[in-house]
């Protein structure tokens, strides 16, 4: 989950979610995006993905810090600072950043996750230099006063009301994370706990900025109608002069093994339609038993890759119990990933029957495994989707940024199709057995509050 600065720009979070699945390519065709990369002397890495279809570029700056790096008691500060990065530098007045982008015909926004914070602009290719100038400026020269910080704190409190508190399903999701992660900071919502958000100060924001916003803790991804030869001198000119500064390493506590299944129920008068969700603690590409990660990607595709996949076919079409059902695997994380299931009943069906049907599917998977045909079909779909992933400018920039920000390398991104291709049936079944254990699950039930 990421939280964008503005709901006026919704596409980015969904793009990220979708494109995680789209990263694949035909065998023998080693490259996915053919990114080119160089690193400045101050430690800033720059990645370029060329796409010359229309004269447009997307310019993204990613910082390797997110809400999971927050100090206890300061929840929400990573996301708050993201908002404040638009509130002025020594040169620019509050709000001027976006106004300049807009009057150059461009769009800009930003988003924060547990592991990263990213800023981006999409503009005509001949405006790239200006964007680099602006981002370099706020990498080094943010200027904040209470006069702009305090109203913005009210904005993020409204954001919390809109995104979480007005939405019972988001409230349950927040509670489920807090139950799933016993110790790891992924248990804390990106937006923050309200009581702590209210106390965040200008100094807290500046401390956060000083601690993390340095070129050696950032990287730039540029995609679109530009070449690496054009980018290099511009990067040296604008980002190059910003001095590197040693920063404290990201210090994250680890997650102990989960040993007991957890279960939450939320009854809310606002809820009309019940639903069930279940998440298992899982490895990510870089955390835990990472050897299972690619097999879990294939497993998620088998269980949930469209209307012919196992869960939809069984629960929705054959048994007619549910209106929706599916599964997902999130592996792009520095810390623990998650493998999840969800379903919502057809009118007149009790939510318990949907949960039991999901349990039965999991049991059948663990007992009988998957078929060779399922493996072949899943790989084929992932492979074809890679071609579609290249049909975009913003998409590849997001995929690459997310990978680099969560501990992967460009080589990992480009090798993804080959690694998916190498997954065997035995590996998928072993991964399912390793992850789908009741004791490492959290189940959440959302239901209407019965009339009193």
Partner 1 sequence: MRTHLTRLLVILPLLALLAVASPAHAIEIKRVVSPGGIEAWLVEDHSNPIIALEAGFRGAGATADPDGKEGLASMTTSLLTEGAGDMDSQAFQKKLADLSISLGFSASQDGISGGLRTLTENRDTAFDMLRLALTQPRFDPESLERVRGQMLVGLKRERERPGSIASRAFWTSAYPDHPYGRRGSGTPESVAALTPADLKQVVSQRFSRANLLVGVVGDITAEELAPALDRIFGTLPATASLPEIPDVQPAFAGDVMVIDRTMPQSTVLFGQRGLKRDDPDYFAAAILMEIMGGGFGSRLTEEIREKRGLAYSVSAGLAPMDHSAAIAGSVGTANARVAESIALVRAEWQRMASDGPTAEEVADAKAYLTGSYFLSLDGSGRIASMLVAIQRENLGIDYLDRRAGLIEAVTMDDLKRLSASLFDPKALTFVIVGQPEGVTATKPAPGQDS
DSSP 81-122: HHHHTTS-BSSS-TTHHHHHHHHTT-EEEEEE-SS-EEEEEE
Q: Is 157 or 264 the residue whose CB approaches partner 1 more closely?
A: 157
339 to 378, contacts with partner 1 by CB under 8 A? 344, 346-347, 377
Could you identify the residue written with the tokens 């340095």? 214
Nearer to partner 1, 1 or 182 (CB): 1
**Site membership for partner 1, residue 158 (CB under 8 A):** yes
Closest distance between partner 1 and the C-beta of residue 213, in Å?
11
Stretch that binds partner 1, among 149-157, 198-206, 417-425, 436-444 (CB under 8 A): 149-157
User: Interface with partner 1 by CB under 8 A: which range of 112-120, 283-291, 314-322, 412-420?
Assistant: 314-322
Sequence-separated (6 or more) residues with CB below 8 Å from residue 334: 68, 115, 250, 252, 284, 286, 287, 406, 407
Are 278 and 341 a contacting pair, CB within 8 Å? yes
CB 439 to partner 1: min, Å = 32
1 part of the interface to partner 1, by CB under 8 A: no
Q: Which of residues 386-405 bind partner 1 (CB under 8 A)?
A: 387-388, 390-395
What burial class does residue 349 get, using C-beta atoms within 10 Å of its C-beta: 0-12 exposed, 13-18 middle, 19+ buried?
middle
**Shortest reach from residue 309's CB to partner 1, in Å:** 8
DSSP state of 230: H
Q: Tell me which residue of 451, 447, 449, 450 sits closest to 351, measured CA to CA.
A: 447
């080119």: which residue's tokens?
A: 36
82 is catalytic: yes
165 or 439: CB nearest partner 1: 165
263 binds partner 1 (CB under 8 A): no
Question: Interaction with partner 1 in 81-140: which residues (CB under 8 A)?
Answer: 86, 90-92, 94-95, 98-100, 102-107, 122-127, 130, 133-134, 136-137, 140
User: Is 81 within 8 Å of 206 (Cβ atoms)?
Assistant: no
Footprint of partner 1 on 30-89 (CB under 8 A): 52-56, 86
**Residue 240 CB neighbour total at 10 angstroms:** 17
* Binding to partner 1 in span 269-308, by CB under 8 A: 269-273, 305-308
């Amino acid at each position: 989950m990421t939280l964008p600065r503005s709901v006026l720009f919704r596409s980015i979070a969904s793009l990220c979610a979708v494109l995680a699945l789209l990263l694949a390519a035909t065998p023998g065709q080693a490259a996915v995006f053919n990114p080119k990369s160089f690193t400045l002397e101050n430690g800033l890495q720059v990645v370029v993905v060329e796409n010359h279809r229309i004269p447009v570029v997307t310019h993204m700056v990613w910082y390797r810090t997110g809400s999971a790096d927050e100090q206890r008691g300061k929840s929400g500060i990573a996301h708050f600072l993201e908002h404040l990065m638009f509130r002025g530098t020594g040169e620019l007045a509050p709000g001027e950043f976006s106004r300049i982008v807009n009057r150059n015909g461009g769009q800009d926004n930003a988003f924060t996750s547990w592991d990263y914070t990213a800023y981006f602009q999409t503009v005509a290719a001949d405006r790239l230099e200006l964007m680099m100038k602006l981002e370099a400026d706020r990498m080094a020269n943010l200027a904040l006063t209470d006069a702009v910080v305090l109203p913005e704190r009210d904005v993020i409190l409204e954001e919390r009301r809109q995104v979480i508190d007005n939405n019972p399903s988001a409230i349950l999701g927040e509670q489920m994370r807090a139950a799933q992660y016993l110790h790891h900071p992924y248990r804390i919502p990106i937006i923050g706990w309200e009581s702590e958000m209210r106390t965040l100060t200008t100094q807290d924001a500046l401390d956060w900025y000083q601690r993390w916003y340095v070129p050696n803790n950032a990287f730039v991804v540029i995609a679109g109608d530009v070449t690496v030869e054009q980018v290099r001198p511009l990067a040296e000119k604008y980002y190059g002069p910003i001095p590197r500064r040693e920063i404290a390493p990201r210090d994250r506590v680890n997650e102990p093994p989960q040993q007991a299944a957890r279960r939450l129920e939320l009854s809310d008068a606002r809820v009309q339609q019940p639903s069930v969700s279940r998440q298992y603690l899982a490895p990510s590409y870089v955390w835990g038993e990472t050897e299972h990660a690619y097999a879990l990607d294939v497993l998620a595709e088998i269980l949930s890759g469209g209307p012919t996949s196992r869960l939809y076919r069984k629960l929705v079409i054959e048994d007619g119990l549910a209106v929706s059902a599916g599964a997902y695997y999130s592996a792009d994380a520095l810390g623990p990933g998650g493998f999840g299931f969800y379903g919502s009943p057809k009118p007149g069906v009790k939510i318990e029957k949907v949960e039991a049907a999901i349990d039965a599917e999991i049991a059948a998977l663990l007992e009988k495994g998957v078929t060779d045909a399922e493996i072949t079909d899943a790989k084929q779909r992932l492979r074809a989707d890679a071609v579609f992933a290249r049909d975009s400018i913003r998409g590849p920039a997001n995929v690459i940024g997310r990978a680099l920000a969560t501990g992967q390398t460009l080589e990992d991104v480009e090798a993804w199709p080959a690694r998916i291709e190498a997954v065997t049936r035995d590996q998928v079944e072993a991964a399912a057995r390793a992850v789908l254990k009741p004791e490492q699950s959290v189940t959440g039930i959302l239901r209407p509050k019965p009339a009193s």
